[in-house]
Amino acid sequence: MNRLNWGLLGLSLLTSLPAAAEQRDLGIQLGSGWTLMPEFDAQYLHDSNIYRQDQNSTSANATILKPQLSAQLLSANDRYTFKYDGEFGFYDSTSHDNYTDNSIAFKGEVNQTGKNRLELNAGRREGHDPFGTERTELDRTTQLDVDEYALSSVDLTYTYGAPSATLNLSLGGDYTDKHYTNNKTLTSYLDFNRAGVMGALRFRLSNITSALADVQYHKISFPNDVNGFSNRDGDEISTRVGAQWQPLATLTMRGLVGYFSRASDASDRSDHNSLDWEGVLNYQPASYSLFVVEGSHSTEESYLLLSTFIDRQRVGGSWKQGWTDRLTTSVAGYYNRYRFEGYQRSDNVYTGSLYVDYDLSGYIGALRLVTARLSFDIAKRDSDVDGFDFDRNVTALRINIAL
């Protein structure tokens, strides 16, 4: 379920909090407003339960390589960004776990600070489902290759009103298509597309308070039916109202609550109605410190034929802290509840992470930004259906180089 960007999203703030080293101007200036930004990321990890199994878990080591190249064009009030991301995984378990993912993306922001603003996002990702997830979550031996897919998306948003104006009105539309490119006899039922329209309103009541409202509609279609199972096509509608409050320059809170419904086209699949909500608190007492508490309701398309869709509730928080010019830590913990609507299954998933980043810039030749990261990630799933529980720990050492 896509959302219009309200701006102050907690996760985006967390990932964009600038450490001292990251405040340096990055990229290669090409002139005429163009900047080229190459990056390379390499990590070595140990996964305690690569297939996410309840019993007889398998551990593995892996090397993950991620090249990235961005090109950005800046003009007086516009910004255009082109980006390529690659990801290449090499496991010591079996070569069948290896993968190659590629994605390209474009973001165009027209008249960023003006009264009439336009934002276009488009992209395509060629990715994969690791063994032990989605279709193969209980049995990774059903095939020799990981399931691979192509995910294409585009969304366009028009906003009336400058960022500081009393009234902002946004209207948008989006389209997503996901289809699997291999193992077609087993994966074709997972193909889907969704198209929708959205609208959002922000009205500034005072210097610190704004009223919010949004509405969206999406049509979800599964083009490949399976004999013996009814069609999973449906319509989603969400309407919410809320407010944003910023009593201090360092503190912002935002909350929306409303109604969500999903109507199924098939008569033997039940419609679903529930509360729709989102909330986030951001506290940034200093430029090098950020606390986030957040929660939301969303939906995902189900990989189980008996389930119409997955209803997801997510709550948690994070803390990112810069201790010195070079040392930064991040810690986060989240609870997710996944309920498979139309099927008697509900999963509780608990995740936690600790990242320790150290800036090595200046120690390695003329490279402008080099960061080393030691990370610890844990995940635990408790399901009310036998066989779907698992515990998983991933420890990784990463080096990131940006020019």
Q: What is the DSSP letter of 111?
A: S
Residue with tokens 């389209």: 175
Q: Where are the domains of the chain?
A: 10-402
pLDDT in tens, 348-367: 999 999 999 999 987 665 56
DSSP β-bridge partners for residue 122? 106, 154
CA pair distance 153, 178, nearest whole angstrom? 9
- Residue 183 backbone class (left: φ over 0; alpha: ψ -120 to 50; beta: rest): left
pLDDT in tens, 247-289: 999 999 999 999 999 999 999 999 999 999 999 999 999 999 9
Backbone angles phi, psi at 136, to 5 degrees: -105, 25
C-alpha closest to that of 277 among 308, 293, 254, 252: 254
Number of Cβ within 10 Å of residue 309's Cβ equals: 22
Identify the weakest region by mean pLDDT among 83-97, 126-140, 295-309, 385-399: 126-140
10-402: which CATH number, 2.60.40, 1.10.3470, 2.40.160, 1.25.40?
Answer: 2.40.160
- pLDDT tier, 56 (very low <50, low <70, confident <90, very high otherwise): confident
Q: What is the DSSP letter of 18?
A: P
Is 294:316 a contact under the CB 8 Å cutoff? yes
Backbone angles phi, psi at 149, to 5 degrees: -140, 165
CA pair distance 305, 269, nearest whole angstrom? 11
DSSP β-bridge partners for residue 357? 328, 373
Identify the weakest region by mean pLDDT among 85-99, 133-147, 225-239, 341-355: 133-147
CA pair distance 334, 316, nearest whole angstrom? 4
Record the pTM: 0.89
Number of Cβ within 10 Å of residue 300's Cβ equals: 12
**Strand ranges (DSSP E) for 205-322?**
209-221, 234-248, 251-264, 272-286, 289-300, 309-322
Residue 11 belongs to what H/E stretch?
helix 10-16
pLDDT of residue 93: 77
